[in-house]
A and B are shown apart, each in its own frame.
Chain A
């Protein structure tokens, strides 16, 4: 069927730029477009960032574009810094499809007080040096397939 110019044919033929930066997040990303795509640019600069609501001051990690507390859309970025405490972790011996090449790896949760961060432990920490409650820091990590994530290192 020929596209009529009156039905938006001309408009549709123009290729729209899609900001799909988020597809770079993690070994396999399941999201490509998000309002917080700048998170990826920050990762590329070595920074892990959360967001803070400019209206009410709520702090979010993972970063959000919208504040559920006061419904404001005015959020600003802040850099995750300092140390968090290891809440818990688990070392995987099996992986879901797409992650087999990363095995073995440990998923983990750090508590920074105002917020918590879910991620992975750095791969080079010996098992017997991982203890709940230990202080760790969050650092950007480049994966072998060129993707980006962040991991927790001993502080």
Chain B
């Protein structure tokens, strides 16, 4: 079976108020990925441009970005699945390469969220749900995930402190990752100090510290056929498992509120394709858009039994020194969440870990890594398994 590899990864720093336009922002992640892959731009024979719509004014960004990045006249297209866009982009790149249509494909994710206000951005994100039947009630992402947090607390006794500990873990790594937005340490005490911004209520039971922040950023993955990867790269990282699923957009169509069905379905597919089990995963990136999301991810991925996700953080098993390090780049909670760029950033971290190139974040010689990337409120789910 012909294999498909990731041979180059790049991302911009994730920041507030990037001082440039979307094409310039995209160039940051792209340049790093191309240089990282040690290929020339001309080696890339197709591009997939990913973001969530309506944060900037550009319609059909693929043409504009492809031109700016020197990727014309090769084919390019725009792909979105909200926050999991770049993971879905990787899935599409895999099939383009696997089919033999293309040899080297760039997956470029970007988002410049600072062009609109925070309240406007909540409205945009709320409209990533059901605009006909839910948005008219005034929905926003933190409130949806808060409903899952409430249900998880009720069913399993997960506490506010358990959730805060996820943020404390994330903030252990934010300070050592130079591309993260939030780089200060966080303590449990901040969550119990009513005057601290971390403790400020957003949507019960979630507090400001439970939520990731909007950011501007770009990321890029260079995907290649086995033949090209072996010719061009000293340390290709192979795509071993891909899983993807979708769910009812309206919460009324869901049955599970203590986890995300899409993550369970996507991970089952990815494990099967890769021929591995949760125990084989040496390092992981999970979609911690909110603290509860990481706890649910542990359970949905089979790292912990349902209801026992919190124990992995408490026992520090998901710290860098633990059995299954998770989000040792600080996760979305520390890095910030430039929607269309997030999946590519997660994948980049795992690629660096598997190659042994993760610097201060490097774990103990991992061989198999997993990326869990969710779009919307468990509307789309992608799980990707990578190996050396």
**A residues with CB within 8 A of B:** 22, 25-31, 34, 61-62, 87-100, 102, 105-109, 115-120, 132, 149
Contact = CB atoms under 8 A, between A and B. Distances in A.
Nearest to B127: A30
B114 interface: no
B203 A94 contact: yes
A89 B120 contact: no
Interface of B: 117, 119-120, 122-123, 126-127, 130-140, 142-144, 146-148, 150-151, 154, 200-206, 250-254, 257
Given A62-B252, A120-B138, 11 more contacts: A26-B137, A62-B133, A88-B154, A91-B203, A95-B119, A97-B117, A109-B251, A115-B252, A118-B252, A120-B137, A132-B154
Contacts of B151: 87-88, 132
Contacts of A31: 131-132
Nearest to B248: A116
A118 B140 contact: no
Nearest to B131: A30
Most chain B CB neighbours (cut-off 10 Å) among A25, A97, A105, A132: A97
Given A30-B131, A97-B123, A118 B251 contact: yes
10 contacts: A28-B138, A62-B132, A62-B252, A94-B202, A106-B204, A109-B147, A109-B251, A118-B137, A118-B250, A149-B136
B133 A118 contact: yes
B252 A30 contact: no
Nearest to B134: A118
A95 B204 contact: no
A27 B138 contact: yes
A107 B151 CA distance: 14
A49 B254 CA distance: 20
Contacts of A28: 135-136, 138
Most chain A CB neighbours (cut-off 10 Å) among B134, B136, B139: B136
Contacts of A109: 147, 251-252, 257
